[in-house]
Amino acid sequence: MKIFVDFDDVLFNTRKFVIDYKKIFKSYGISEKIYDKYYYNYPVNKNKSFKKYNSIMHVREIGKNFPINARKIEKDIDNFIKNTRKYIFKDAYEFVSKYSKKDLYIISFPKIGFQEKKIKNSGMNKYFEKSISTSGLKSNVIRELIKEKKIEKNETIYFIDDRLESIEDMKKKNPQIITILLGRKEGRHKYLGKGNSDYKAVNLGKVLKIIKKNLCVE
């Protein structure tokens, strides 16, 4: 069995992280309106629902229009992101404890320094065989990894994500993969239904039960 797990809003409380992150800007007199106006999607991603955040470009874009100490803000951001452990959901630790490290993979969006630091400094990498960040489609990355690792066709594979777009693309490209749409109350994305996902869960505790039940059937 192999389990591919998204990072933001699945393992990591991104909503809380963003609230605290914005406080850095607020401390320099930058309003939320200005923060949002110059939020930097860089390099520009044509798929508007998935933005690739670049903190340095964000600060510099604000600096082009307002008198701020960009270097000092960037330093505060670096210090803030040095330890992101407190944003890991508690049930994430129980979840990873139930499986072998070699069967667990983090797959996150996008592939950019800010995201990779956020994951690395959360301390979660040690529980996973590999952490993969991509600015492309997760379905393509997983398909290539299946080939690279020579994962048997009859091996059960799970994909857990909070984005319905990612789930739907995964089922379209890799229909054999069992998908679980995770919709936490703390999450940023809400869906009434589960689309074409095999399952929908509200936390990782529920995901554990789904996988356990399927193992019993097998």
DSSP SS3 for 4: strand
Find the radius of gyration of the CA atoms of the chain.
Answer: 18
Cite the DSSP H helix spans in 44-181.
Answer: 55-65, 70-80, 90-97, 113-120, 138-148, 164-173
Residue with tokens 């239904």: 193
Amino acid identity for residue 199 in this structure: Y
Q: Which residues contact 21 (CB under 8 A, 6 or more apart)?
A: 77, 80
At residue 149, the pLDDT reads 85
Q: Which of 47-51, 76-80, 98-102 shows the lowest mean pLDDT across its residues?
A: 47-51
Amino acid identity for residue 77 in this structure: I
Query: Which two three-digit tokens encode residue 34?
Result: 């200005």
Of the chain, the end-to-end C-alpha distance in Å amounts to: 12
The total of other beta-carbon atoms located within 10 Å of residue 179's CB is: 25
With cut-offs at 50, 70 and 90, classify the pLDDT of residue 153. Answer: confident
With cut-offs at 50, 70 and 90, classify the pLDDT of residue 7. Answer: very high
With cut-offs at 50, 70 and 90, classify the pLDDT of residue 33. Answer: very high
Amino acid identity for residue 51 in this structure: K
Does residue 55 contact residue 78 with C-beta atoms inside 8 Å?
A: no
Q: Which residues contact 117 (CB under 8 A, 6 or more apart)?
A: 81
131: β partners: 106
At residue 52, the pLDDT reads 75
At residue 51, the pLDDT reads 66
For residues 25 and 45, the model is more confident at 25
Mean pLDDT over each residue of the chain, to the nearest integer: 92
Amino acid identity for residue 39 in this structure: Y
With cut-offs at 50, 70 and 90, classify the pLDDT of residue 144. Answer: very high
DSSP SS3 for 213: helix
With cut-offs at 50, 70 and 90, classify the pLDDT of residue 88. Answer: very high
Check pLDDT > 80 for residue 206: yes
With cut-offs at 50, 70 and 90, classify the pLDDT of residue 192. Answer: confident
At residue 39, the pLDDT reads 85
Does residue 11 contact residue 89 with C-beta atoms inside 8 Å?
A: yes
Q: Which residues contact 200 (CB under 8 A, 6 or more apart)?
A: 180, 181, 182, 183, 191, 193, 194
How far is the C-alpha of 71 from the C-alpha of 28, rounded, in Å?
12
Check pLDDT > 90 for residue 217: no
Check pLDDT > 60 for residue 47: no
How far is the C-alpha of 47 from the C-alpha of 34, rounded, in Å?
23
Mean pLDDT over 134-154 rounds to 91
Give me the percent of the chain exceeding a pLDDT of 90. Answer: 79
